[in-house]
């Protein structure tokens, strides 16, 4: 962890924190939750409504990951959303698929969450009664 204001597990390399501290913070998180560092997917959020769909098995990831939402059915994949004043939204479909949404002002105006729900229905047959949706702090 770095010095204030980067002393609280910052995971973003876009706000002035050093790459070394960001990397250490990511390692602390994967160690705490006990999963492989390579299984953590963080998006290069663009404040838009682009959605990345990753169907299993995930062999390679496009780079950079310039999306504001990610949907996957790949097991043991850990999704992360970086926020400040935007909403992180996680959608679970009976542990068959999962989505992480960065719902900022522009993405919300572009209906990103509705688009994610529609894409989950199209790709994985999700229905609203089968979903668990969690909204994080903003």
Span 29-58, pLDDT tens digits: 888 888 887 778 888 888 899 999 988 777
pLDDT digits (tens, 9 = 90+) for 64-121: 788 999 999 988 888 888 887 889 999 999 879 999 999 989 999 999 999 999 999 9
Domain identity same for 28 and 43 = no
Domain identity same for 78 and 100 = yes
Domain identity same for 65 and 93 = yes
Domain identity same for 46 and 20 = no
How many independent structural domains does the chain possess?
2
* pLDDT for res 5: 65
What is the value of pTM for the model shown? 0.82
| Structural domain containing residue 22 | 1-34
Q: Are 74 and 83 in contact (CB under 8 A)?
A: no
**2, two tokens:** 């770095």
- Distance between CA 43 and CA 83 in Å, rounded? 11
């Amino acid at each position: 962890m770095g010095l204030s204001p980067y002393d609280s597990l910052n995971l973003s390399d876009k706000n002035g924190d050093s790459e070394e501290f960001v990397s250490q913070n990511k390692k602390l998180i994967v160690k705490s939750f006990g999963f492989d560092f390579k299984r953590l997917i963080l998006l290069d959020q663009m404040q838009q409504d682009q959605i990345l769909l990753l169907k299993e098995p995930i062999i390679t990831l496009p780079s950079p990951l310039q999306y504001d939402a990610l949907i996957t059915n790949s097991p043991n994949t850990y999704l992360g959303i970086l926020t400040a004043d935007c909403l992180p939204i996680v959608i679970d479909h009976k542990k068959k698929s999962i989505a992480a949404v960065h719902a900022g002002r522009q993405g919300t105006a572009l209906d990103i969450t509705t688009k994610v729900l529609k894409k989950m229905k199209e790709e994985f047959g999700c229905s609203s009664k089968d979903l668990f949706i969690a909204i994080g702090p903003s």
